[in-house]
Amino acid sequence: MAFRWSFNTSQWEPTSSQLSQISRLIQAEEKARIGRFLFMRDAKTSLIGRILIRKLVQLKTGVPNNFIKLGRDDHNKPILISPTNLADKLDDDDNDDCDVTNNDDNVIFDECSNVNIRNLNFNVSHQGSYVVLASDPSATHVGIDVMNVEKPGRISDTVDEYFRLMNRQFTENEWRQIKGLDLPGSLSDKKKMMNFTRFWCLKESYVKAIGVGIVIDLRTVDFNTKTDLSFESDGPKLATDTVVKVNGCLETEWSFEERCLDDETHLVAVAKKIPSKNKDIDSDKNEYIPPEFIPVSLDFLLDNMTPLQPEESVDTEWVEAFLKKNNKK
C-alpha cells in the first residue's frame, strides 16, 4: 500500500506534555540534532518528520517503535537501519539473528518473514508550513519535495532578478516553461514563481530519490511538463504526465506526481522509479491515479507508539529548551 501523508506544523503549538511524550519515542541522536535548531519552526518540522517515518515503519511492518532504528546515509538522507530485510540469511543454517525478542513485553517477531520490510521505502520533506511523506512499494526509488510558492522573504529582488541569480539551476528548456516564453501573452510574476517552484520541487524530488542530493549538475536533468497546475478552484490540482530526460535520454521508468496542497500556497512533487516489470500492462487503458495526501494528526502519529525510554527518563531540559526556541515566523 502506498502512503502520502502531510502535517501542517503551523497549526501545531507544542505543549510540554506532548514534547515529553515524543521525547521518549525518538533516538538520542535525533533529539540532539533537533535540539540544535534555533527556531521553533525548524525544530517542529524536523521532529514531525522523524515521527512520520517511525509511524510509517510501525504500520508497514508491525514492528514496535522501540525496535525501530533510523539513521542517515552519506548524503544525510534518512534511512532505516533496523529492522532490515534479512532474506539473504534464509539459506543459512543459523538464522537466530532473524528473531527479535523483547522479554519485557513478551513480543517476538521474525524479521526474515516480513516482506513489508523488503518493500519498504520512504522519503520526507519539509518547507514552509508542511512536512510530507511518501512511500510506495511498487517503486525501487522514491523522493518527495514540498515548497511554498511565494518568493523567499529574504529576497528583495524582483522575480526576474531572482531568476537571474538561479540561472544555473535549470535548463534553457525549463526556463522557457517557467517564464511561459512559448505561450501567447506574458505571465504574471505570481505565475512565474509558481512555475519556478514547481520545477524546483521536481528537481529536488528526483535527486532525493536517487540519493545524491543537490550535488549534481541540475542542468543534466531536464523536465517537460504537460499539465498546467493551478490553485484556482476550476484549475487542475494534480499532474502525472511530466517526463524527464537525464543527459538527453528520456527516462521511461521514472514517473512524477505533482499536487497543489489545499492551503493554496504549497506544491508537492513525488518522484518514483518503477521498473518496467512492475508496471501495469494495461496502464494505457487504466490511467494511474495516485493516492491523495492525507492530513495526519499528532494523535494518529503517537497512537500505539512504544517508547524507547521509560517514563521516568523524560528529558525535561530538552523539553524546556524546545519550548524556549525562537518562534519567529
On the 0-12 / 13-18 / 19+ scale of CB atoms within 10 A, 11 is exposed
Handedness of CA 250, 224, 75, 54 (dihedral sign): negative
Q: How many CA atoms lie within 13 A of 34 on its CB side?
A: 25
How many residues comprise the chain? 329
What are the structural domains of the chain? 1-88+97-140+277-329 (3.90.470.20), 149-273 (3.90.470.20)
Quick check: 186 and 137 in contact, CB under 8 A? no
Phi-psi region of 213 (alpha: psi -120 to 50; beta: other; left: phi over 0): left
| Maximum separation of any 2 CA atoms in the chain, in Å | 71
In order along its 329 residues, the chain shows pLDDT tens digits of: 899 999 999 999 999 999 999 999 999 999 999 999 999 999 999 999 999 999 999 999 889 999 999 988 877 778 888 886 533 322 333 333 333 333 333 333 444 345 456 668 899 999 989 999 999 988 999 999 999 988 666 566 788 888 888 888 899 999 999 999 988 889 998 899 999 999 999 999 999 999 876 667 889 999 999 999 988 888 889 999 999 999 999 999 999 999 998 777 899 999 999 987 665 543 444 567 889 999 999 999 999 999 998 877 788 999 999 999 998 76
What is the grid cell recorded at 34?
Answer: 533537533
Ramachandran angles phi, psi of 131, nearest 5°: -115, 130
β-pairing, 238-239 vs 254-260, is antiparallel
CA distance 122 to 58: 13
